[in-house]
């Protein structure tokens, strides 16, 4: 009896370098391309954040790359914009979903490739183009825009008069994000169709690995949310280029000049933006939740605690994410009654989030835990998720948010839960799947040093920001010098800056580990972690069509670890029941 | 050198079914279930359904912006929609009927009838687009430009967005009608194209009602 059935035509990889590595239709190459794109984006984004921290810590320091070495307030805001846009769109949205998801979703569901490989390739190259257009904004007259990653109207809508960078720079920004929307819609469509229709025989929905669930729900969010942002981008472009008044109110006077617009609604932009923006937060974190469940189970040698509860809570978070966008707008002049509704709905998200957290702890409980680098980052993720999530409960109260909005409290909150937690998931995924992707192990010792530096580092950076927030220190101020009560807190700024520089430097461990292991790391065998899911059933390097023309059959759930009465402590999903070795 | 490459590939192919843990070491070979393409045809229908969901969200965002923008301000000025939009609507409804007819012909294996009705659908689609352009000319003649008033801004945004999506539908009709299909069967291809075409039709009726009643 063969556990591989469904013979299909065995496809060979194209031979030419360009068709094989550049314009590839293979989901594994495309996934790797996304990961490398994200790695370049995160590098630029991190350098920009260090430049900001240097300026905040040492306001008179000369900084390379700015006119006369001086970072003006406008330069600071440009840096904020580029840091935020690169990180949110080209790292957090791209790498966990389009990068790792592209690489592993088809393998984990037993499919030879994505449903629509050409659309997949197109998504990547449009994302690439979007990043080039975004980076180009920094090199045009006026430079990069100063309106942040949220590009609130009317600042983003009235053109050059709003400040340097609000001319061509802002136009390029909007075009870049519109392109990115198109790419994400295509990518989401591909993920959904693949998961719905190309699952291997026997792989029912409740047998899918939680990683697949994470990518699936995320793709639902992407498909529903990015169209709304695209609409907002088009209206902003028309306001800028065709002099319409969608978002620009009448009687607006900027720099002493009365603008010739009437009746537009800046609040409308915020509604459109955050209707996308809140699901976007979950687009960044849900794939991470899936990856973390996967890694925790593997290295605890235990099934995921409460698999179905994990699936339902993931879906609940995805659904609720469309009902809470107003909590970003408590101080926008929105009706206080709707603020109450948004506040309550936001608190409700705490319930599925708590289910997930307890189930992660339940997975660890009583397990035979292996503290690999991937496992450390997974546990770190849970820690960051709890810390960042708790401060979210405070921010969800309109009365508290009135005070804390636009302070460092918010910066600390969303960096911990959305930024760093998702980054930890990417690190966990890198250490975990590297042997399958490149046939070699990353260095574990370097990985553990990298973990501890990063873990202690990010807490040192972002926890003090909560205190700055309580003190009322406003975000996006380029300097503390002009505001008396902020000047008094300068020691805290200095501490954060030093922590940020050390943490950023510690990432060199990762870069070195990643690239040197790619070339000469320890050779990995097919299933180094003794995992149960399909990616470990195929040879390394994974063949062009994943299963060599024979699609697998699935016999059981994804996390059959330490099953009593079995010889091994793991039972792969694809192993026919009669082939499973029993304990003597 | 080429010799080595060939052997390597042979080896990979040979190993293919037998990744390590499972078992195909026993009887290698077909289980009888063979298929030319790895892709089930239903995936195309799934794909277009999801695509329509995404497109619907895009238009819903524009329409809710329309409603909000009209509600919050006092600068909204109603204008009379170009009369030709009624004719355009009829043309598009007729094209939906003709695409249904084309698929019926195909089901009865009447290829010639299918191609005729498919072509009629495509031409009706092009007439609709031409009619929309005429509507724009009439707007311009009446002095209503994109930036004249939020009401005219939304008119242009909604008709242009719909027109571009419909143009995509026309390309799909041309592709299905005149190009050789590789992986798709004709039945699936016409199903996908006609689903999208009906969607464009229904979407236009919806947008037309919004423009008409929301003036």
- Of A51, A40, A41, A38, give the one whose Cα is nearest residue A504: A51
Range scoring the smallest mean pLDDT among A260-274, B5-19, B33-47, B120-134? B5-19
Three-state SS for A558? coil
* Confidence at A483, pLDDT banded by 50, 70, 90: confident
Q: Token pair of A174, please?
A: 């909007």
- Of A550, A520, A518, give the one whose Cα is nearest residue A537: A550
Q: Is the peptide bond before A154 cis (omega within 30 degrees of 0)?
A: yes
CB-CB neighbors (< 8 A) of A188 in chain B: 50, 54
The yes-or-no verdict on residue A18 having pLDDT over 90 is no
Widest CA span in chain A: 87
* Confidence at B1, pLDDT banded by 50, 70, 90: very low
Q: Does B187 touch chain A (CB under 8 A)?
A: no
CB-CB neighbors (< 8 A) of B53 in chain A: 223-224
- Closest Cα of chain A to B23: distance in Å? 6
- Of A270, A289, A268, give the one whose Cα is nearest residue A278: A270
More confident residue, A308 or B36: A308
φ and ψ at residue A63, rounded to 5 degrees? -120, 130
Contact A447, A424 (CB under 8 A): no
Torsion of CA A290, A296, A298, A299, to 10 degrees: 160
Element (H, E) at B12: helix B2-15
Please report the DSSP string for B136-186 in residue order.
HHHHHHTT--TTT-HHHHHHHHHHHHHHHHHHHHHHHHHHHHHSPPSSS-H
Element (H, E) at A368: none
ipTM over 0.85: yes
Q: What does the mean pLDDT of chain A come to?
A: 94
Q: Does A61 touch chain B (CB under 8 A)?
A: no
Residue-level pLDDT at B22:
31
* Confidence at B181, pLDDT banded by 50, 70, 90: low
Q: Do B153 and A238 touch (CB under 8 A)?
A: yes
Reported as a single tens digit per residue, the pLDDT across A384-410 is 999 999 999 999 999 999 999 999 999
Q: Do A245 and B20 touch (CB under 8 A)?
A: no
Integer-rounded Cα Rg, in Å, for chain B is 25
Range scoring the smallest mean pLDDT among A1-15, A395-409, A421-435, B158-172? A1-15
How far is A492 from A496, CA to CA, in rounded Å?
6
* Confidence at B143, pLDDT banded by 50, 70, 90: very high
How far is A264 from A430, CA to CA, in rounded Å?
46
- Closest Cα of chain B to A44: distance in Å? 31
* Confidence at B7, pLDDT banded by 50, 70, 90: very low
The yes-or-no verdict on residue A449 having pLDDT over 60 is yes
Q: Does B5 touch chain A (CB under 8 A)?
A: no
Residue-level pLDDT at B183:
61
Separation in Å, CA A522 to CA A76, A370, A511, A538, A579: 43, 19, 17, 19, 31
Reported as a single tens digit per residue, the pLDDT across A313-366 is 999 999 999 999 999 999 998 888 999 999 999 999 999 999 999 999 999 999
Q: Does B175 touch chain A (CB under 8 A)?
A: no
Q: Does B76 touch chain A (CB under 8 A)?
A: yes
CB-CB neighbors (< 8 A) of B19 in chain A: 526, 537-539, 547-548
Q: Do A231 and B61 touch (CB under 8 A)?
A: yes
Q: Output DSSP code: residue A407.
A: B
Q: Does B2 touch chain A (CB under 8 A)?
A: no
Residue-level pLDDT at A217:
98
More confident residue, A145 or A15: A145
Of B36, B47, B147, the CB nearest to A116: B47
Beta-carbon contacts of residue B15 (< 8 Å; ≥ 6 apart): A539, A548
Residue-level pLDDT at A480:
87
Contact A467, A485 (CB under 8 A): no
Please report the DSSP string for B50-108 in residue order.
HHHHHHHHHHHHHHHHHHHHHHH-S-----PPPTHHHHHHHHHHHHHHHHHHHHHHHHT
Of A3, A8, A196, the CB nearest to B22: A3
* Cα first-last separation, chain B: 73
The yes-or-no verdict on residue B16 having pLDDT over 60 is no
Number of cross-chain residue pairs from A and B with Cβ atoms under 8 Å apart: 188
How far is A494 from A500, CA to CA, in rounded Å?
10
- Sign of torsion over alpha carbons B65, B71, B72, B75: positive
The mean pLDDT value for A111-120 works out to 95
More confident residue, A434 or B20: A434
CB-CB neighbors (< 8 A) of A223 in chain B: 50, 53-54, 57
**Does the global pTM surpass 0.90?**
yes
How far is A206 from A208, CA to CA, in rounded Å?
6
Residue-level pLDDT at A534:
97
CB-CB neighbors (< 8 A) of B40 in chain A: 197-198
Are β-strands A253-254 and A257-258 bridged in parallel, bridged antiparallel, or unpaired? antiparallel
The yes-or-no verdict on residue A279 having pLDDT over 70 is yes
Residue-level pLDDT at A16:
83
Contact B152, B71 (CB under 8 A): no
- Closest Cα of chain B to A268: distance in Å? 7
Contact A305, A292 (CB under 8 A): no
Separation in Å, CA B86 to CA A404, B81, B145, B213: 53, 9, 21, 14
The yes-or-no verdict on residue A427 having pLDDT over 80 is yes
Q: Does A397 touch chain B (CB under 8 A)?
A: no
**Cα-based angle A474, A49, A419 (whole degrees, multiple of 5):** 80
Query: Residues 175-204, chain A: which have Cβ within 8 Å of B?
Result: 185, 188-190, 192-194, 196-198
The mean pLDDT value for A360-387 works out to 97
Q: Does B69 touch chain A (CB under 8 A)?
A: yes
Range scoring the smallest mean pLDDT among A14-18, A292-296, A459-463, A486-490? A14-18
More confident residue, B4 or A530: A530
The yes-or-no verdict on residue A372 having pLDDT over 90 is yes
Residue-level pLDDT at A152:
96
CB-CB neighbors (< 8 A) of A579 in chain B: 22-23
Contact A41, A131 (CB under 8 A): yes
Query: Residues 258-277, chain A: which have Cβ within 8 Å of B?
Result: 262-265, 267-268, 271-272, 275
Q: Do B22 and A4 touch (CB under 8 A)?
A: yes
Beta-carbon contacts of residue B162 (< 8 Å; ≥ 6 apart): B59, B200, B203, B204, B207
Of B22, B53, B147, the CB nearest to A537: B22
The mean pLDDT value for A454-477 works out to 96
How far is A24 from A15, CA to CA, in rounded Å?
11
Residue-level pLDDT at B32:
30
φ and ψ at residue A509, rounded to 5 degrees? -55, -45
CB-CB neighbors (< 8 A) of A550 in chain B: 16-17, 24
Q: Do B9 and A10 touch (CB under 8 A)?
A: no
Residue-level pLDDT at B214:
87
Of B39, B74, B157, the CB nearest to A238: B157
Q: Do B57 and A243 touch (CB under 8 A)?
A: no
B35: left (phi over 0), alpha (psi -120 to 50) or beta: beta
Q: Does B4 touch chain A (CB under 8 A)?
A: no
Contact A130, A177 (CB under 8 A): yes
- Of B93, B72, B145, B208, give the one whose Cα is nearest residue A247: B72
CB-CB neighbors (< 8 A) of B1 in chain A: none
Q: Token pair of A427, please?
A: 């690190």
* Confidence at B38, pLDDT banded by 50, 70, 90: low
Q: Token pair of A209, please?
A: 């690995």
Integer-rounded Cα Rg, in Å, for chain A is 24
Q: Do B54 and A189 touch (CB under 8 A)?
A: yes
The mean pLDDT value for A111-116 works out to 95
Q: Do B31 and A246 touch (CB under 8 A)?
A: no
The mean pLDDT value for A147-163 works out to 94
The mean pLDDT value for A150-167 works out to 93
Residue-level pLDDT at A71:
93
- Of A120, A128, A125, A121, give the one whose Cα is nearest residue A194: A120
The mean pLDDT value for B108-126 works out to 94
How far is A363 from A297, CA to CA, in rounded Å?
6
Beta-carbon contacts of residue A353 (< 8 Å; ≥ 6 apart): A313, A317, A385, A389
* Confidence at B27, pLDDT banded by 50, 70, 90: very low
Separation in Å, CA B134 to CA A289, A362, A378, B95, B212: 52, 66, 60, 19, 18
The mean pLDDT value for B198-210 works out to 98
How far is B105 from A442, CA to CA, in rounded Å?
61
* Cα first-last separation, chain A: 23
Q: Does B27 touch chain A (CB under 8 A)?
A: yes
């Amino acid at each position: 009896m063969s556990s591989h059935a469904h013979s299909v035509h065995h496809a060979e990889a194209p031979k030419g370098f360009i068709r094989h590595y550049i314009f590839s239709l293979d989901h594994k190459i495309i996934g790797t391309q996304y990961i490398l794109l994200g790695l370049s984006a995160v590098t630029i984004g991190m350098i920009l954040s260090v430049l900001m921290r240097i300026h905040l810590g040492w306001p008179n320091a000369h900084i390379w790359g700015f006119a006369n070495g001086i970072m003006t307030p406008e330069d600071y805001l440009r840096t904020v914009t580029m840091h935020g846009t690169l990180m949110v769109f080209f790292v957090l949205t791209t790498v966990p979903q389009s990068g790792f998801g592209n690489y592993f979703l088809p393998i984990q569901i037993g499919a030879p490739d994505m449903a629509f490989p050409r659309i997949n390739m197109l998504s990547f190259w449009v994302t690439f183009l979007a990043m080039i257009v975004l980076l180009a904004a920094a090199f045009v007259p006026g430079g990069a825009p100063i309106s942040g990653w949220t590009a609130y109207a009317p600042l983003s809508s009235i053109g050059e008069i709003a400040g340097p960078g609000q001319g061509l720079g802002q136009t390029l920004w909007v075009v870049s994000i519109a392109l990115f929307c198109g790419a994400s819609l295509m990518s989401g469509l591909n993920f959904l169709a693949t998961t719905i229709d190309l699952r291997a025989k026997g792989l029912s929905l409740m047998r899918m690995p939680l990683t697949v669930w994470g990518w699936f729900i995320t793709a639902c969010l992407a498909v529903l949310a990015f169209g709304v942002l695209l609409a907002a981008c088009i209206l902003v472009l028309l306001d800028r280029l065709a002099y319409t008044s969608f978002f620009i109110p009448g009687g607006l006077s900027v720099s002493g000049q009365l603008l010739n617009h009437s009746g537009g609604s800046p609040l409308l932009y915020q509604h459109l933006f955050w209707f996308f923006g809140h699901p976007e937060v979950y687009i960044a974190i849900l794939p991470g939740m899936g990856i973390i469940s996967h890694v925790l189970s593997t290295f605890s040698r235990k099934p995921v605690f409460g698999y179905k509860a994990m699936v339902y809570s993931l879906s609940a978070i995805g659904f609720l994410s469309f009902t809470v966008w107003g909590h970003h707008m408590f101080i926008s002049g929105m009706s206080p009654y709707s603020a109450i509704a948004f506040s309550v709905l936001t608190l409700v998200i705490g319930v599925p989030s708590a289910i997930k957290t307890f189930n992660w702890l339940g997975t660890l409980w009583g397990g035979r835990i292996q503290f690999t680098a991937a496992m450390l980052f997974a546990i770190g993720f849970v820690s960051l998720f709890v810390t960042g999530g708790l401060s979210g409960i405070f921010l969800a109260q309109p009365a508290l948010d009135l005070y804390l909005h636009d302070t460092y409290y918010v910066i600390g909150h969303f960096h911990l839960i959305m930024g760093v937690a998702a980054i930890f998931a990417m690190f966990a995924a890198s250490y975990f799947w590297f042997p399958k992707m490149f046939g070699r192990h990353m260095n574990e010792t370097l990985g553990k040093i990298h973990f501890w530096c990063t873990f202690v580092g990010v807490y040192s950076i972002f926890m003090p920001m909560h205190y700055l927030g309580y003190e009322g220190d406003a975000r996006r101020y380029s300097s503390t010098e002009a505001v008396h009560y902020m000047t008094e807190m300068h020691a805290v700024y200095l501490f954060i800056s030093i922590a940020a520089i050390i943490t950023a430097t510690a990432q060199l461990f990762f870069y070195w580990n990643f690239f040197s292991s790619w070339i000469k790391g320890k050779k990995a065998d097919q299933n180094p972690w003794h995992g149960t899911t399909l990616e470990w059933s195929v040879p390394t390097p994974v063949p062009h069509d994943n299963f060599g023309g024979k699609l697998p059959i699935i016999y059981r759930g994804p996390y059959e670890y330490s099953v009593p009465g079995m010889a091994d402590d793991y039972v792969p999903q694809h192993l026919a029941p009669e082939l499973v070795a029993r304990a003597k | 050198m080429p010799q080595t490459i060939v052997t390597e590939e042979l080896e990979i192919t040979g190993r293919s079914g037998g990744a390590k843990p499972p078992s195909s070491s026993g009887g290698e070979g077909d289980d009888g279930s063979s298929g030319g393409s790895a892709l089930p045809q239903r995936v195309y229908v799934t794909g277009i359904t999801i695509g329509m969901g995404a497109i619907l969200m895009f238009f819903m965002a524009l329409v809710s912006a329309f409603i909000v923008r009209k509600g919050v301000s006092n600068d909204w000025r109603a204008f009379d929609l170009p009369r030709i939009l009624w004719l355009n609507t009829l043309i598009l409804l007729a094209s939906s009927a003709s695409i249904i007819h084309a698929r019926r012909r195909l089901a009865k294996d009447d290829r010639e009838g299918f191609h005729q009705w498919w072509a009629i659908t495509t031409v009706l689609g092009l007439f609709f687009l031409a009619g929309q352009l005429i509507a724009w000319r009439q707007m311009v003649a009446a002095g209503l430009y994109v930036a004249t008033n939020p009401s005219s801004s939304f008119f242009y945004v909604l008709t242009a967005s719909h027109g571009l999506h419909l143009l995509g539908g026309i390309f799909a009709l041309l592709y299905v009608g005149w190009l050789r299909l590789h992986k798709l069967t004709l039945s699936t291809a016409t199903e996908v194209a006609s689903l999208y075409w009906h969607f464009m039709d229904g979407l236009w009726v919806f947008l037309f009602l919004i423009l008409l009643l929301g003036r």
